[in-house]
Amino acid sequence: MLSDGIVTLRPWIEADAPAIVECIDGDEEITRWLDQIPQPYALEHALAYLRGIGESSLAVVDSTGRVLGSIGVRWDEPGDVGEVGYWLRADARGRGVTSRALLLISRWALSRDGVGRLQLRAAVENVASRRVAEKAGFRLEGVLRSAHWNPRLEQRVDWAMYSLLPGELA
């Protein structure tokens, strides 16, 4: 468990499944940018998510224990490069929660032996997600042009690539 006193990151439990559905089902921003998440989003989707994530993802909760979202790091095979991903429920956005969660998981990830890099990708047009990365100290490296076909948008999207290296996090 990781916490800054306002935001806590903890392992998911199956009892969180209804809260995940509440967070994701019908959310237009999550639907727009995370095209692999099914819509409508039902309990069976949440349970499949929870059973398939292992330790790669953590619940983002507030001081009352309310589920606000998810954040995780997927490691490359050698375990020295991690890619961060996150989503947050609509009514928790715009309050710095995701930036706090990103700082917590970044500190944890960069403290692991042998880690050389954290990275994250966000659609160029996903201004909110890009702002979170920048606020947490990630540096824009460039744009991966036409990197992904988003069937919901019915177009290819460019991804902004960000990174954070050991020693760069204040």
Q: Tokens for 145?
A: 């042009």
- Which residue is it, tokens 């947050």? 88
What does each C-alpha distance from 71 to 56, 145, 146, 151 come to in angstroms?
Answer: 9, 25, 25, 23
pLDDT in tens, 50-63: 988 766 799 999 99
SS3 14: helix
Amino acid code (one letter) for 16: D
**93, amino acid identity:** R
Give the closest residue to 133 by CA, choosing from 78, 77, 85: 85
- Go through the domains of the chain in sequence order and give each one's CATH number: 2-164 (3.40.630.30)
Return the pLDDT at 64: 94
CA pseudo-torsion sign 62, 65, 67, 70: positive
Nearest Cα neighbor of 98 from 134, 143, 55 is 134
Q: What is the pLDDT of residues 6-44, one digit of tens each?
A: 999 999 999 999 999 999 999 999 988 988 899 999 999
